[in-house]
Amino acid sequence: MSMPPTSSKGRIVLVHLYPREMSIYGDLGNTRCLAARIRRHGYDVEVHDHHPGMPFPQDAHLLMGGGGQDSGQSRVEDDLAVIGDRLRGLAADGTPMVMICGMYQMFGHAFITSDGVELPGLGILDVTTRGQSTRMIGGIVLDTPWGEVVGFENHSGATMLGSGQAPFGTVRVGHGNNGQDHTEGARTHNVIGSYLHGPILPANPAVADALIAAAAERATGRPFEPEQVDDALADEARTRQITRLRARGTGKLKDTAVH
């Protein structure tokens, strides 16, 4: 790890959406990773935990949201309705965001439950998710604009992209959005939605730095001024896992009803 320079290049506000309700499966690791890397690049970071019912912070340069359970999801729905306009405005304005699993689904148009009930989402990403009984679980490898990305997917929702919607990546090993069309996640402006746990950012620092670069520009009005960060551990962890998963081949859909 490299030591950050002594004088700060600026202050970046990182907002973690619903860390209590929507942060299982280690998604907190994304926040830890972003905060640490922001510091290592020589910027100050302020991590703001946003809980349901709290006022949304005035400054928000970078947003992170994770996966949750049904109970967690229903707890945040009301709050998302309150801050929805703000989130849509920030997204349209280029604010970088990474939304994983449950929050990815809620950033889409709608979630349609297995009995046909349609739950509206924020509509920031042009995706629609249908609940289904089989879970898509396992290691996953993608090709993305930031190179190969590795993670672990664990979702029962099958997500379809709208006609003009760009995916986050192309599935090389694993299931992705729906197990059918080889797409994974979605990307609009600087908003990334993805099913990848692992968590995604520590092992894929190129994605983390792309988000940080956009956040730094928004926070300071200047281009991102990165430091040399030693990513040998992340690179080794990522390439080893990619090699293993590629050797195992494309995963088949597993029936994962409990046992």
Partner 1 sequence: MLRTSAAIIAGKTLRYAARLRGGGSALPGLVAERVDPQILARTLASVPGGIVVVTGTNGKTTTTKMLAAIIAAHGKHVFTNPTGSNFTRGVLSAMLGEIGLGGRLQADVAVLELDEWHALQFAKLVTPTHALLLNVARDQLDRFAEIDTTAKLLATLAGQTSQVVVLNRDDSFVFRIAEGLSGKEIRYFGVDPEIADQVPALNEADVRFEDAATPPPPTTDDGLLHPVDTRDFAIRFGPAEQVGPLALRQRGLAAMVNATAATTMARAVLGADFRTDLTEAALRTVTAPFGRGEVIDVDGHPLELVLVKNPAGFTVALSTYGAEPVATMIAINDDYADGQDVSWLYDVSFASLREHGVAMTSGVRAYDMALRLDYDEVLVEQIEPDLAGALDGFLAAYRGQPTRIFCTYTAMMALRKLLAARFGLAGFAQEGE
Site for Zn ion, rule CB under 5 A: 67, 101, 154-155
What order do you get walking across the sheet with 118-120 strand by strand?
118-120, 110-112, 127-130, 158-161
258 binds partner 1, rule: CB under 8 A? yes
Among 2, 5, 8, 70, binds partner 1 (CB under 8 A): 70
Is 155 part of the annotated catalytic residue set?
no
Q: Say which entry of Zn ion, partner 1, none residue 73 contacts (CB below 5 to 8 A, set by partner kind).
A: none
Tokens of 241: 């896992």
Residue with Cβ nearer partner 1 (71 or 163):
71
Residue with Cβ nearer partner 1 (26 or 123):
26
Is 182 part of the annotated catalytic residue set?
no
Residue of 41, 175, 182, 197 with catalytic role? 197
> What is the amino acid identity at position 148?
E
Residue with Cβ nearer partner 1 (91 or 99):
99
Question: How many residues belong to the site for partner 1 (CB under 8 A)?
Answer: 38
CB of 105 to partner 1, least distance (A): 15
Q: Say which entry of Zn ion, partner 1, none residue 155 contacts (CB below 5 to 8 A, set by partner kind).
A: Zn ion
**Which listed range, 82-90, 167-175, 184-192, 251-259, lies at the site for partner 1 (CB under 8 A)?**
251-259
Burial, 45: exposed, middle or buried (Cβ in 10 Å; 0-12, 13-18, 19+)? buried
Tokens of 86: 């703000």
Q: Say which entry of partner 1, Zn ion, none residue 174 contacts (CB below 5 to 8 A, set by partner kind).
A: none
* Residue recorded with tokens 């520590």: 202
What SS3 class is residue 35? helix
Q: Are strands 44-50 and 11-17 parallel, antiparallel or unpaired?
A: parallel
Bond preceding residue 199 cis, omega within 30 of 0: yes
Tokens of 240: 């080893």
CB proximity list for 62: less than 8 A, separation 6 or greater: 12, 13, 14, 15, 34, 95, 96, 97, 211, 212, 214, 215
Tokens of 219: 């926070």
65 binds partner 1, rule: CB under 8 A? no
> What is the amino acid identity at position 6?
T
Residue of 16, 41, 50, 101 with catalytic role? 101
**Interface with partner 1 by CB under 8 A: which residues?**
1, 20-21, 24-29, 32-33, 36, 69-72, 75, 135, 137-139, 152, 154, 197-199, 202-203, 233-234, 236-237, 240-241, 244, 256, 258-259
| Catalytic residue positions, numbered | 101, 197
